[in-house]
Amino acid sequence: MTVAPTAQAVSTNAVPDHRLTVVVPMYNEVENVEPFVTAVHDALGNYPFEWELIIVNDGSRDGTQQALDEQARLRGPHVRPIHLWRNFRQTAAMQAGIDAARGDVIVTLDGDLQNDPKDIPKLVARLLREDLDLVAGWRQNRQDGLWLRKVPSRIANRLIRKITQLEFQDLGCSLKAYRASVLKRVSLYGEMHRFIPAWMATVTSPARMAEEPVSHHARTRGESKYGISRTLRVVLDLLAVNFFLRFSGRPGHFFGGVGLAVGLVGGLILSYLAVLKMLGENIGGRPLLWLGFFCVLGGLQFLTTGVLAELLIRIYYDRGEVAPYHTSEAPQLNADTAWHHTP
């Protein structure tokens, strides 16, 4: 995976024709709605290709919904707010925006103005010029608190790289550009938004992914709503990522290996006790007997219940009949309408 040098301005010459969808989750960001929409239009106002802006209101209760609707009224139909019924969290909000996206290229970023919309053309240009499926932002000069944001992020990135074998430096950066046809093959739930490169590696080659240095700004309005409290959920989802990357085609090998190991311990214990019994010793009151019995039972459960549970939850989301969010009804748009056109 290669990293290109940072550039202040990116020419769109020789960039293949495309339509761009910008997807942004927001939760209680009423202070940032107008500045963010303005920043996107400043960055893409002269963009030579058609684009739309989808902002997903993740169940906000501070006036974000009304502010988004006002911006859509003022800016035009290419600004498309989506309002979730409640706070389904960042991953579900991002999935809602991806599902509604109509562009050939999808760019995701946060709505707190820490990601700079001016980096969008640079990421899209590299994605299309180099025929990639993902270009991820890399916040080389991150403007966040050291102990609450930077240190946990560095630890998480190192752990994620170790488990996924993907050499991304900054998986936590929401600013990413995707080829829509590939991204839409991945279903997001839990805290999976930070593992999207790993999930995409199940449908495309890591050689078709790259990382690009991007700007990062300190938050000037409001406060982070997706904070350090998500750490435990991230760890649990990382285990799921590891499972599906290594065992999605052979889940029995994972659960079977654990089940056989636990069952083997139980079998050895019971065999040892059986020998003692044949030698005339009384084993009925030994705690070791119960330990051996439950190890064998636990091994059988790993071989059956675990496999069924993991496969069923994957099927539940991948059938396409359910989504990890619920949204208010939005008008159905024709594929050729409600795009931003450069005058």
- 65 & 152 share domain: yes
Residue 3 lies in a domain: no
- 40 & 182 share domain: yes
- Number of domains making up the chain: 2
CATH number where 211 lies: 3.90.550.10
In this predicted structure, what is the pLDDT of residue 7? 41
- 238 & 263 share domain: no
Domain end (from 228, 246, 264): 246
- 299 & 151 share domain: no
* Structural domain boundaries, residue 254: 250-318
Residue 192 lies in a domain: yes
Residue 6 lies in a domain: no
- 242 & 255 share domain: no
- 139 & 170 share domain: yes
Residue 255 lies in a domain: yes
In this predicted structure, what is the pLDDT of residue 153? 62
- 161 & 274 share domain: no
User: Whole-model pTM?
Assistant: 0.74
Domain end (from 198, 229, 246): 246
- CA atoms of 252 and 257, how far apart (whole Å): 8
- 146 & 256 share domain: no
Residue 333 lies in a domain: no
- 271 & 192 share domain: no
Domain end (from 216, 246, 276): 246
pLDDT per residue of the chain (343 residues) written in tens, 0 to 9? 544 444 444 566 689 999 999 999 999 999 999 999 999 999 999 999 999 999 999 999 999 999 999 999 999 999 999 999 999 988 899 999 999 999 999 999 999 999 999 999 999 999 999 999 999 998 877 755 555 455 566 666 666 666 666 777 777 788 999 999 999 988 887 677 777 888 888 788 889 999 999 998 887 776 665 445 555 666 677 777 777 766 665 666 677 778 889 999 999 999 999 998 888 888 888 889 899 999 999 889 887 876 676 666 667 656 655 566 767 766 777 778 889 887 7
Give the per-residue SS3 of the chain. Answer: CCECCCCCCCCCCCCCCCCEEEEEEECCCCCCHHHHHHHHHHHHCCCCCCEEEEEEECCCCCCHHHHHHHHHHHHCCCEEEEEECCCCCHHHHHHHHHHHCCCCEEEECCCCCCECHHHHHHHHHHHHHCCCCEEEEEECCCCCCHHHHHHHHHHHHHHHHHHHCCCCCCCCCCCEEEEHHHHCCCCCCCCHHHHHHHHHCCCCCHHHEEEEEECECCCCCCCCCCCHHHHHHHHHHHHHHHHHHHHCCCHHHHHHHHHHHHHHHHHHHHHHHHHHHHCCCCCCCCHHHHHHHHHHHHHHHHHHHHHHHHHHHHHHHHCCCCCCCCECCCCCCCCCCCCECCC
Residue 11 lies in a domain: no
- 218 & 254 share domain: no
Q: Tell me the CA end-to-end span of the chain in Å, nearest whole number.
A: 37
- 155 & 290 share domain: no
Question: Token digits for 182?
Answer: 């590939």
Residue 8 lies in a domain: no
Residue 2 lies in a domain: no
- 164 & 254 share domain: no
Task: Assess contact for 241 and 159: CB atoms under 8 A.
Answer: no
In this predicted structure, what is the pLDDT of residue 96? 94
105-108 sheet: strands from edge to edge = 79-83, 51-57, 20-26, 105-108, 176-179, 134-139, 209-214
